[in-house]
Structure 1
Amino acid sequence: MEWPWITGDYWLGCGRTGVLVIWLGPVEWDEQHAPFCACEPCLDRLKAQALAYFMERRPASP
């Protein structure tokens, strides 16, 4: 399922408000939940960081 882009706030990274964001998952703390969303530039940065992490840790070819 692909989540829709909505107008909202991005709490981390750039901290922008009233921009298009996409839901990444819930933030859970002390049995409470809040939405965790990212704007497109920050999502691109997160994806690049995740890809670099995965590439550094992928198994060696036989």
Structure 2
Amino acid sequence: MTWPPVAQTGDGNVWVTGACWLYCRREGVRVLWVGSVRTPGTTGDVYACGPCIAELDRIVRVTSQERAGTTGATTCEHRWLEKRNGKTFCGDCTRQLYL
């Protein structure tokens, strides 16, 4: 199966400047609407920046592949975080996390 490329600023999608609702929670960055969320009290539109969309995409792909049985990889729970050069990394799987 071929996956489509992950959304990136300037790719023809409707990017706006605003707050990222996902992992990094930064304000004043280029974000893309990724869907709606419903809580018991209200609904809202979720916007995410490029790096957070890439992380969400990776999680969805790994989960999809695991369900399909196409990979032996397991998803790291990122329980041990470490800072390097101002960036956050998982101490177990060594991936950079965009928090």
Q: Match for 1:48 among 58, 64, 72? A: 58
What are the ranges of 5 or more consecutive residues in structure 2 without an aligned counterpart? Answer: 1-11, 71-99
Q: Which amino acid aligns with 2:16?
A: I
Tell whether the 8 Å contact from 1:25 to 1:37 is kept in structure 2 after alignment.
Answer: yes
Q: Which aligned segments of 4 or more residues in structure 1 are displaced greater than 3 angstroms?
A: none
Q: Give the TM-score normalised by the residue count of structure 1.
A: 0.79
Structure 2 match to 1:19? 29
Question: 2:69 and 2:62 mapped to 1: Cα distance?
Answer: 14
- TM-score normalised according to structure 2 size: 0.53
In structure 2, how many angstroms separate the alpha carbons of the residues matched to 1:56 and 1:30? 31
Specify which structure has the bigger relative contact order, considering alpha-carbon pairs within 8 angstroms and separated by 6 or more residues. 1
- Deviations 1:11-38, CA, capped at 9 Å, x for gaps: 2300101111111111112352211111
Q: CA RMSD in A?
A: 1.9
Compare the two structures and name the one with the higher helix fraction: 1
